[in-house]
């Protein structure tokens, strides 16, 4: 078995973008920035352009395609609802896709495998003045570039990003609820290395007030209890509270869910116990293996596909995830759920599975004995009835397979399915 150091060296070779890819990105950027700045001047718009994201910070990893963040930073004289409209005017007649969000932004393929995401932001002097989270991007880029300059640390960040990406923990999108790129950069700056970070995460990390791990790199707070008083409670639900060095009232990891964090911790433990290069390989759910295992245990397995008509990305992913969780809750009322999983297919569709054991016995609460008419109807409806605390109850099991249950549920809940923006749901295995 290879030792950890040799594995990490091998991974670094694989994830570092080839010099040819970097050259192509730089060439495309040079032309795009020149054209965009010229257009801004011609339109007499008060704005500047800067490159952000992992490319600007030197933490980009090799992928089959690259998304490069470009920000158009508008003067404060422009209203918030004007920024996307102005950006669209600047980009015309270029071919681009408008992506809806808190502020609409734009995506275009400038070369094969190279995409630019053009994001309108407002030029603010102080992060407190930000009207949108993207307004902070300028400060984030500058902070990381100032604090992290050594290639060794940049490599440690790349390793961490690749590990999180492979284990479905990378991304602040609602359907992932994981670590943002900026969050991982800060964590490695804090822990100094990938290994230090995952070792800390793998063990039962010492927790502070309110059972939270709190990291305050710039030491804005005198004590950790103050954090809970100063930051909005809605932003304190994540298992790690990482104070933004550029804006002390923001938790960089607010999007990180307990579920994703648990999954990440298990991935860290597994890698440390048995170091393997496969820990850095993107994992797809092996539906056939799960199906076979369920069959051997005499459980029922079902594989479904669902589609939405909402915009691909965070919006589509979050809608599909919400539907999956709703259906899981419905199934859990009547079956013993032994396993389940969700896989977003990066477009407008998802696949998810359920493995169930025997049907649950359902407890149904009936009327009080004083309600004579209701009592009569309840007795007529159910055969096996018992009384507890002067109230009728019954227990029953649905005599249906999981497949039959889902088919019945789909027929009875067409309105709910439609309201959840699901346009198609079918059993595929």
pLDDT of the residue at 209: 47
Q: Which fold has domain 362-395?
A: Alpha-Beta Plaits (3.30.70)
Distances in Å between the Cα of 108 and the Cα atoms of 94, 114, 119, 267, 397 are 8, 9, 12, 35, 54
Domain boundaries, the chain: 17-134, 148-283, 287-360+397-427, 362-395
Q: Which residue has the tokens 């690749």?
A: 162
The rounded mean pLDDT for the chain is: 90
CATH number of 17-134: 3.30.460.10
Query: Long-range contacts: 400-409, Cβ < 8 Å, 24+?
Result: 400/334, 400/359, 401/300, 402/300, 402/302, 402/331, 402/335, 402/354, 402/356, 403/300, 403/302, 403/427, 405/331, 405/334, 405/335, 406/302, 406/304, 406/327, 406/331, 409/327, 409/330
- pLDDT computed for residue 211 by the predictor: 67
CA distance 351 to 429: 10
The per-residue pLDDT for range 367-377, each reduced to its tens digit, is 888 888 888 88
* 88 and 76 Cβ atoms separated by less than 8 Å: no
Predicted confidence (pLDDT) per residue in 159-185, tens digit: 999 999 999 899 888 888 999 999 999
CA neighbours closer than 13 Å in the CB half-sphere of residue 155: 11
Please tell me the class of the 148-283 domain. Answer: mainly alpha
Which of 11-15, 72-76, 383-387 bottoms out in mean pLDDT, i.e. has the lowest?
383-387
DSSP conformation class of 222: S
Interacting residues of 145 by C-beta distance below 8 A, sequence separation 6+? 56, 57, 58
The CA distance from 389 to 367, in Å, is: 11
Query: Best-predicted range by mean pLDDT among 243-252, 369-378, 395-404?
Result: 243-252
> Are 290 and 355 contacting, i.e. CB atoms less than 8 angstroms apart?
yes
DSSP for 160-191, please give it: HHHHHHHTT-B--STTT--B-HHHHHHHHHHH
CATH 3.30.70 at 287-360+397-427, yes or no: yes
DSSP class per residue in 188-204: HHHHSSHHHHHHHHHS-
- pLDDT average, residue stretch 106-111: 92
The reported pLDDT for the residue numbered 102 is 82
* Structure tokens that stand for 301 in this block: 């397995």
pTM: 0.82
CB atoms within 10 A of CB 392: 20
Tell me what percent of the residues of the chain surpass a pLDDT of 90: 59
Residue predicted with more confidence, 225 or 9: 9
Comparing 287-360+397-427 with 362-395, is the CATH topology the same?
Answer: yes
Residue 275, CB half-sphere, CA atoms under 13 Å: how many?
Answer: 15
Compute, in degrees rounded to 10, the torsion defined by CA atoms 357, 358, 359, 362: -100
pLDDT recorded at residue 283: 80
Q: How far is CA 301 from the centre of its chain?
A: 26
- pLDDT band of residue 205 (cuts 50, 70, 90) is low
């Amino acid at each position: 078995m290879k030792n950890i150091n040799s594995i990490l060296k091998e991974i670094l070779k694989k994830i570092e973008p080839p010099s040819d890819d970097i050259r192509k990105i730089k060439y495309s950027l040079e032309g795009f920035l020149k054209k965009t700045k010229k257009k801004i001047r011609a339109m007499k718009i008060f704005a500047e352009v800067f490159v952000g994201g992992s490319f600007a910070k030197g933490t980009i990893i090799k992928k089959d395609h690259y998304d490069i963040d470009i920000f158009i930073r508008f003067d404060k004289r422009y209203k918030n609802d004007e920024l996307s409209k102005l950006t669209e005017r600047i980009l015309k007649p270029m071919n681009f896709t408008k992506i809806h969000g808190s502020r609409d932004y734009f995506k275009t393929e400038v070369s094969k495998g190279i995409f630019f995401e053009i994001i309108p932001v407002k030029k603010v002097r102080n992060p407190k003045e930000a009207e949108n989270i993207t307004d902070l991007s300028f400060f984030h880029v500058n902070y990381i570039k100032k604090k992290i300059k050594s290639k060794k640390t940049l490599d440690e960040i790349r390793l961490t990003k690749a590990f999180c990406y492979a284990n479905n923990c990378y991304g602040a999108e609602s359907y992932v609820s994981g670590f943002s790129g900026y969050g991982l950069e800060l964590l490695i700056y804090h822990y100094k290395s990938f290994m230090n970070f995952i070792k800390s995460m793998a063990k039962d990390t010492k927790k502070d007030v309110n059972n939270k791990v709190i990291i305050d790199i710039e030491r804005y707070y005198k004590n950790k209890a103050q954090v809970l008083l100063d930051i909005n409670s809605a932003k304190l639900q994540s298992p790690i509270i990482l104070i933004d060095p550029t804006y002390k009232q923001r938790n960089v990891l607010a999007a990180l869910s307990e579920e994703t964090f648990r999954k990440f911790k298990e991935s860290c433990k597994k890698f440390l116990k048995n170091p393997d290069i496969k820990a850095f390989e993107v994992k797809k759910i092996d539906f056939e293996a799960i199906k076979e295992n369920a069959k051997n245990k005499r459980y029922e397995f079902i594989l479904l596909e669902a589609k939405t008509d909402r915009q691909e990305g965070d919006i589509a992913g979050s809608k599909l995830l919400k539907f999956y969780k709703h259906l899981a809750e419905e199934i859990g009322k009547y079956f013993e759920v032994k396993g389940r999983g969700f896989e977003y297919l990066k477009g407008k569709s998802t696949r998810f599975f359920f493995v169930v054991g025997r049907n649950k016995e359902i407890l149904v609460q009936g009327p009080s004995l004083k309600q004579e008419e209701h009592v009569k109807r309840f007795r007529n409806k159910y055969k096996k009835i018992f009384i507890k605390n002067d109230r009728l109850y019954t227990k029953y099991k649905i005599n249906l397979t999981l497949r039959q249950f889902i088919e019945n549920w789909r027929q009875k809940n067409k309105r709910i399915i439609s309201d959840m923006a699901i346009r198609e749901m079918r059993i595929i295995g």
